Amino acid sequence: MKTPGLRVRLAEAEEALRAIRMGEVDTVVVAGKDGSKVFTLEGEGHAYRMLIESMNEGALTLTANKTILYANECFARMVKDPLEQVTGGPFHRFLSVEDRAVLGSLLKRPRRAGFKMQAKLRVGGGSEIPVNISIRPIANHDSRTGSGDATLSMVVTDMTGAHKSEERLRALTHRVLQVQEEERVRLSHELHDTITQMLCGILIYSKVLAKGLTARDVKSKAAALKLSAMIGATVDEVESISRNLRPSVLDTLGLAAGLQDISAEFCKRTGIPVKEAFVKLAARLSADTELALYRILQETLRNVEKHAKARHVSIRLSTHVDGVRLVIHDDGKGFDSDSGSLPKGKRRAGLGLLGMRERAASVNGRFKIKSTDRGTETEVRVPRLPL
């Protein structure tokens, strides 16, 4: 039960806060351990205060030791705390230990232009919301005017909506890639089970035909032999397409063998020599991760063949701290990789690069491409542990 005295004091405090917010108060005296401190809320700032109150972002000013001197209503709603409890309290209580450390180290490097950080804001009920925090040091006011020691201003933006859309987009891309893989498996089986089988039948009959023709039918016999050879080559080609569609080599022989397959095929097709360095992994990666690396190499080499005019290619599979790294380098003509893969006069987003980026992201990996006029280097890092 509240005593009448406490109730009166609370009512007074609420009235003081209301008056501050409405711009009716110019100066606030805060009593602390080291005596009283005076904070001036300049009269001409009233219009700004009104603006800040109507914002959809959290706005705060903090003292040097990160005590909240001022917070707007929106911030209080964001953290689901009454404004009276927010004001005067430490800002740290809304941050995780890691985010506190990040903020601390950012503040150690004073930058007049301010800085930004992403954080998880701890809100009432033990939940967290993703936010962007924009921080700016406030020029210290003249102490003679007694305008206090607010040193930081902050704008806190709730990113929940943006994160949800990003997650949905990522899930959708992941699904698209999955469906594409399923469709490739189906097509691969169909090619193998129908076309290859039929071609094999035709091949046998063409051989029988060639054999049946006597030496006197020179022309026909030569044509029949040529036909058999062509059908044989077609069978090989269809089998190779089928294999590319469904890299069963990954299931049976593992990642390095899969990568080697693509590399050998590239070399055979283009005549460009490939230097390979594949580390032997102690354990298999997840099937999704192996497939992502396989597809990325496939697409990268397709790009080398199509665009690079390279004379040499190298492929390196190595381990790093907590995962595996695949680096593909070509000494071709390169392209402007900073402008989002769009060479001049060709303003359309390349699906290849986009797909590779998404494939890496879908297995928690990172994709980087660096290109100069002396060549292009593509790097993918994926975690060793399954997702």
Q: Which residues contact Mg ion (rule: CB under 5 A)? A: 303, 352
Applying CB under 6 A, the span of 3-11, 12-20, 249-257, 347-355 interacting with ligand ADP comes to 347-355
- CB of 299 vs Mg ion, minimal distance in Å: 6
- CB of 277 vs ligand ADP, minimal distance in Å: 19
Query: What are the backbone dihedrals phi and psi of residue 351, each rounded to the nearest 5 degrees, phi first?
Result: -75, -30
- CB of 341 vs ligand ADP, minimal distance in Å: 4
Give the residue with the Cβ less far from ligand ADP, 81 or 330.
330
245-251 long-range contacts (CB < 8 A, ≥24 apart) are 245/184, 245/185, 245/187, 245/188, 245/191, 246/184, 246/185, 246/188, 246/189, 247/291, 247/294, 250/287, 250/290, 250/291, 250/294, 251/287
Provide the token pair at 333: 């003509």
- How far is CA 115 from each of CA 100, 133, 137, 151, 338, rounded to the nearest angstrom? 15, 8, 9, 14, 24
Give the residue with the Cβ less far from ligand ADP, 155 or 380.
380
Beta-carbon count within 10 A of 10 CB: 12
- Contacting ligand ADP within 56-75 (CB under 6 A): none
The residue whose Cβ lies closest to ligand ADP is 350
Give the residue with the Cβ less far from Mg ion, 246 or 295.
295
Rounded CA-CA distance 226/220 in Å is: 10
- How far is CA 281 from each of CA 219, 246, 254, 278, 386, rounded to the nearest angstrom? 56, 22, 10, 9, 14
- How far is CA 193 from each of CA 140, 185, 188, 199, 380, rounded to the nearest angstrom? 78, 12, 8, 10, 35
Nearest to 307 by CA among 337, 282, 286, 283: 337
Question: DSSP per residue over 214-260, as a string?
Answer: -TT-HHHHHHHHHHHHHHHHHHHHHHHHHHHHS-HHHHHH-HHHHHH
Give the residue with the Cβ less far from Mg ion, 112 or 347.
347
Give the residue with the Cβ less far from ligand ADP, 49 or 329.
329
Rounded CA-CA distance 93/68 in Å is: 11
Give the residue with the Cβ less far from Mg ion, 304 or 317.
304
Contact between 43 and ligand ADP per CB under 6 A = no
Contact between 334 and ligand ADP per CB under 6 A = yes
Give the residue with the Cβ less far from Mg ion, 231 or 301.
301
With CB under 5 to 8 Å by kind, the binding choice for 62 among ligand ADP, Mg ion, none is none
Contact between 247 and ligand ADP per CB under 6 A = no
- Contacting ligand ADP within 279-308 (CB under 6 A): 303-304, 306-308
Block residue for tokens 């506190």: 100
Give the residue with the Cβ less far from Mg ion, 21 or 295.
295
- CB of 348 vs Mg ion, minimal distance in Å: 12
What would the 3-class secondary structure string for 284-343 be? CCCHHHHHHHHHHHHHHHHHHHHHHCCCCEEEEEEEECCEEEEEEEECCCCCCHHHCCCC
Contact between 95 and ligand ADP per CB under 6 A = no
- CB of 303 vs Mg ion, minimal distance in Å: 4
Give the residue with the Cβ less far from ligand ADP, 320 or 374.
374
Contact between 332 and ligand ADP per CB under 6 A = yes
Contact between 266 and ligand ADP per CB under 6 A = no
Judged by CB under 6 A, which of 63, 153, 242, 341 binds ligand ADP? 341
- CB of 348 vs ligand ADP, minimal distance in Å: 8
Contact between 41 and ligand ADP per CB under 6 A = no
Judged by CB under 6 A, which of 353, 360, 380, 382 binds ligand ADP? 353
Binding site for ligand ADP (CB under 6 A): 303-304, 306-308, 330, 332-335, 341, 343, 350-353, 376
